[in-house]
Amino acid sequence: MYVTAHLPRANGITNEYASKNLDHLGIVSTICREINLASEINRIVGVDPRQKVTCGEAVVAMILNALGFVDRPLYLFPEFMTTKPVELLIGAGFKPEDFNDDVLGRTLDKLYRAGSEREMVKKYGQSLQEKWGDDKIWVWDSAVYSEKNLGEISADYTWITRVPETLSKAKEVLENADTEKMRSTALRGYRLFSTEVEYGSVKQRWIVVFSEKALVRETKTLQKKIEKEKEQVEKDARHFANKEFYSEEDAQKAAQEMEKGWKYHKISATEVVTKTKKKDGGRGRPRKDVPVQTVYRIKVAFGEDKAAIEKETLKKGKFIVATNELDGEKLGDEEALTAYMCGALPTTPQAL
């Protein structure tokens, strides 16, 4: 999406135009305004009357930059802003050059001095709760899911979030979830079941979800990973066959250590090759009176680790949505899933 901006001439007549690329950033800017992001940050960290760009406005600009799918150092920030309708996105009177690296650097320093990120988010959440009321359900991405965070927010907020699959408990639940026993939903291609767990001393409901599309996509990705690892395993085995060891035991231990670096493959057979060589390392066949030593090499055969692949496959197509609303009458499993799918953003909480 493009917008047209009027460019004033020196005599004050406005008859020149320029198009600026807005894309999805108009939506991001509107959300920042609706939740009073800039003003709330300014309230928390304070405003320096000497600054043209406040900390809150600088943060909004950085969010626009981050969600503009670019990754540039701070000194190139004005270059990014030049392509955007700055006054429309942030406010009247601002120019791209106002958002230089000095302004952004001072903003980051001031945010650091104001307190930790967790405290900032907590204060911001409290201000949104005062604005939106206590009866809202907050939807967060999985970044919020930790024992400490859940312990701090659960008493004051009803929340929905995604459980990171890296948690040991989550891995166990996903591996053991039988998709055939899950119940169908109104959402095409999705099945689910729920169970009550406790994590971070917070009782919560885990909604285990199976997605047919996700299964297809993740299975393809897994197969690519297996094929890529196979190429690396072939190289490992080829190079390992040329290594010499001074005992068969050391050679076998080294082979086992190499195997630990493989996720989807394992050693299926080994062949030990011995060789007698001069102790001084000289070339040629050693004479009878020359000290010699025996060295060992191992040739390994490998194959796919079927058990490991099956265990990994069992987790594919599944994920867990959690909520601290235990009453299924107040918030059904399918409602929680739909709320998460529609409302979750990586950095901004959504209130339902």
Could you read off the pLDDT of 25-61 as tens digits, one per residue? 888 888 888 878 888 888 888 888 888 999 989 888 8
Q: Measured between alpha carbons, how far is 187 from 189 in angstroms, rounded to an integer? A: 6
Residue 340: exposure state from Cβ atoms within 10 A (0-12, 13-18, ≥19):
buried
Is the pLDDT reported for residue 137 higher than 70?
Answer: yes
User: How many CA atoms are closer than 13 Å to the CA of 335, on its beta-carbon side?
Assistant: 13
Q: Measured between alpha carbons, how far is 213 from 176 in angstroms, rounded to an integer? A: 20
Q: Measured between alpha carbons, how far is 285 from 297 in angstroms, rounded to an integer? A: 18
SS3 of the chain: helix, strand, coil, percent, to 5: 45, 25, 30
pLDDT tens across 173-219, in order?
A: 998 999 889 999 998 999 999 999 999 899 999 999 999 999 999 99
Q: Is the full-model pTM beyond 0.85?
A: no
Is the pLDDT reported for residue 341 higher than 50?
Answer: yes
pLDDT tens across 292-308, in order?
A: 788 999 999 999 999 99
Q: Which residue has the tokens 């689910």?
A: 192
pLDDT band at 349 (very low <50, low <70, confident <90, very high): very low
Angle of helix 55-66 relative to helix 101-114, nearest 10 degrees, comes to 110
- Residue 340's closest CA among 178, 146, 137, 191? 137
Please state the rounded mean pLDDT for residues 227-234.
96
pLDDT tens across 103-130, in order?
A: 888 888 888 777 655 566 666 666 666 6
Please state the rounded mean pLDDT for residues 273-297.
74
The answer to whether residues 204 and 322 touch, using CB atoms and an 8 Å cutoff, is: yes
Please report, rounded to a whole number, the percentage of residues in the chain having pLDDT higher than 70: 80
Q: Which two tokens mark 168?
A: 């040991």
- Residue 296's closest CA among 242, 231, 350? 242
Angular region, 53: left φ>0, alpha ψ -120 to 50, beta rest: beta
Name which of 130-134, 236-240, 272-276 the model is least confident about. Answer: 130-134
Is pLDDT larger for residue 95 or for residue 277? 95
Q: Which pLDDT does position 218 carry in this prediction?
A: 92
Angle at 267 between CA 266 and CA 272, to 5 degrees: 165
Distance linking the first and last C-alpha atoms of the chain: 28
The answer to whether residues 122 and 152 touch, using CB atoms and an 8 Å cutoff, is: yes
